Amino acid sequence: MIKTARVFWLTIVALCFACTSSQCVARDWFGDGQAALREAKRLQPIEGRARNVILFVGDGMGVSTVTAARILEGQLKGGSGEENQLAFERLPYLALSKTYSANQQTPDSAPTMNAMMTGVKTNDGIFGVSEAVRRKDVRWPVVNEHRLTNLLELAEMRGMSTGVVSTARLTHATPAACYAHTSERDWESDADQPFGTDVPDIARQLLEFPFGDGLEVAMGGGRRAFLPESVTDGEGRKGRRKDRRDLTREWVEKYPNARYVWNLEQFRQVDEAKTDHLLGLFESSHMQYEADRIDGEPTEPSLSEMTEKAIALLSKNPEGFFLHVEAGRIDHAHHAGNAYRALTDTIAFSDAIRTALQLVDLRETLIVVTADHSHVFTMAGYPQRGNPILGKVVMPGETEPALAADGKPYTTLSYANGRGFQQLDVGGDTSYREPINAGRANLSSVDTTDEGFHQEALVPLHDETHGGEDVAIYAGGPMAHLFRGVQEQHYIFHVMAEALGLTADLERAPHPQ
């Protein structure tokens, strides 16, 4: 994909600077501004109640990630990139979300998704419970005493349909915070738990979900947490459960008109009209990065395909639906220091949102797009417009990369900490097999746009960390205008609950403070 786009670079630069007169440039920029103003003046808030809510979360999708992905997508289309817009950037309302958790300035995914789903901040490493719960507390009565009612549970109690879709393991913190309550985010199966705990593992909680008629859709990775260790799945991977339970079989037995699928062929054969409960587990662990999924013949669905399937199935309910869709692997690529995969997964996330926007009516569906947290991912230097976003910095009027004070070229994108520079045949998680190589490298002969390139990092760490700055909230549909200014992250829950008219239900539900 990137390699094909390289042929456009010289053409792009030429087009960008073909019109150099001040009159021409001023007319273009001024006209664009006037058009944007006219569009803003026509915008009218939708005050009515929402029938449906879709919460899209790009895990780790900070503002610098959005900017770089926007440029990359535009450049892959043959443009300079900067003027491009991702699908969700066209939504009319925007706010900032303060992501700190109850006990950390820079959070992890567990408390951040807890904030969005329950309206309450909590501590790192836990979700579905208040900050009164100590991490790794093995006592279920204590965990249960401080459990928080979440939006998906409220929707099920109202008779709505619900779904969770992720490219990460379904038992990973962000998707799991929609249906589970735990004192430890890593207790994904009983094999992950210490002896003596009576807190149900996360996969088990999905099957034992006690509200309404259970989730109608659950799709993502994480097959190993649902299968007993005596079972080898269709891709040759063993399950991990020690209690001998096959939760995939239990799903089909528990619900009427239920299906379990684990590959692309089975997924495409699902008839939404005849299926009321769909469980899809497409990898033993996390699903593939989008760049790897499309390398050859895909064996698992894209995030767009899963989103489309989920909406088709959930839309059958006249009472409406709540759907959460996560692009979980943006975060993982950043942790590995591989901007290529982080950005291509962000573009795939945008594609999924575009699919949703084509399928729903924003007069009755609230769409919220945000991130749980950011990353220490920077876009810097002074590259000329149209410079390859994954490339080395080439300044305006120059043809060769700029040199730093150490005499070496440098890239536009880099990380403040992490594993550092690697040039590998395959990028992403393969970097963990290599030694940490933080600091500067001589990139003169390195193709930094290659999928196996891992950006330089300043501080050497086992993996790159989250960032603590605010992230953006993009919204459209009923009550979307309530997203404005700078808000606490848990405010997202309160707007979604207000849009669905669930505030009164929340007041009657157990919700410890």
> Per residue in 405-464, pLDDT tens?
999 999 999 999 999 999 999 889 999 999 999 999 999 999 999 999 999 999 999 999
**How far are the Cα atoms of 389, 391, 443, 451, 454 from residue 401, in angstroms, in the given order?**
13, 9, 10, 20, 18
Give the per-residue pLDDT at 504.
Answer: 72
Per-residue pLDDT averaged across 56-84, rounded?
98
Per-residue pLDDT averaged across 104-131, rounded?
98
109 labelled catalytic: yes
Closest CA to 125 of 110, 143, 105, 146: 110
Angle at 310 between CA 304 and CA 314, to 5 degrees: 150
Residue 184 C-alpha from the chain's centroid: 21
Which residues contact residue 4 at a Cβ distance below 8 angstroms, ignoring those fewer than 6 apart?
A: none
State the amino acid at position 4 in one-letter form.
T
Tokens at residue 272, please?
């939404």
In this structure, are strands 422-423 and 365-370 parallel, antiparallel, or unpaired?
unpaired
Tokens at residue 118, please?
């329950």
For the chain, domains (ranges, CATH) are 52-376+473-508 (3.40.720.10), 389-464 (no CATH)
Q: Is the pLDDT of residue 129 over 80?
A: yes
Tokens at residue 377, please?
């991912």
Q: Are 216 and 276 in contact, with CB atoms under 8 Å apart?
A: yes
The whole-model pTM stands at 0.94
What pLDDT band is residue 28 in, cutting at 50, 70 and 90? confident
pLDDT tens by residue, 287-328:
999 999 999 899 999 999 999 999 999 999 999 999 999 999
Strands (E), 40-181: 52-58, 93-98, 161-169
Closest CA to 417 of 294, 484, 334: 334
Reduced to 3 states (helix: H, G, I; strand: E, B; else coil), residue 459 is strand
pLDDT tens by residue, 177-192:
999 999 999 999 999 9
Which residues contact residue 418 at a Cβ distance below 8 angstroms, ignoring those fewer than 6 apart?
A: 335, 336, 337, 376, 438, 457, 459, 460, 461, 463, 464, 465
Phi, psi of 437 (to 5 degrees): -135, 50
Q: How many CA atoms lie within 13 A of 474 on its CB side?
A: 20
Q: Which of 80, 97, 101, 109 is catalytic?
A: 109
Number of H helices, E strands in the chain: 17, 17
Give the per-residue pLDDT at 26.
Answer: 55
CA distance 478 to 329: 29
Give the per-residue pLDDT at 12.
Answer: 40
Query: Comparing 2-11, 348-357, 478-487, which segment has the lowest mean pLDDT?
Result: 2-11
Q: Is the pLDDT of residue 16 over 70?
A: no
Closest CA to 159 of 388, 363, 368, 319: 319
Q: Is the pLDDT of residue 508 over 80?
A: no
What pLDDT band is residue 22 in, cutting at 50, 70 and 90? very low
Q: Is the pLDDT of residue 114 over 70?
A: yes
Angle between helices 491-500 and 151-158 (to 10 degrees): 10
End-to-end, the C-alpha distance of the chain in Å comes to 50
Q: Is the pLDDT of residue 385 over 70?
A: yes
Residues 17-41: b if buried by 16+ CB within 10 A, e if exposed: eeeeeeeeeeeeeeeeeeeeeeeee
CA distance 471 to 463: 21
Q: Is the pLDDT of residue 20 over 60?
A: no
Q: Is the pLDDT of residue 24 over 60?
A: no
Reduced to 3 states (helix: H, G, I; strand: E, B; else coil), residue 474 is strand
State the amino acid at position 160 in one-letter form.
M
Residue 131 DSSP label: T
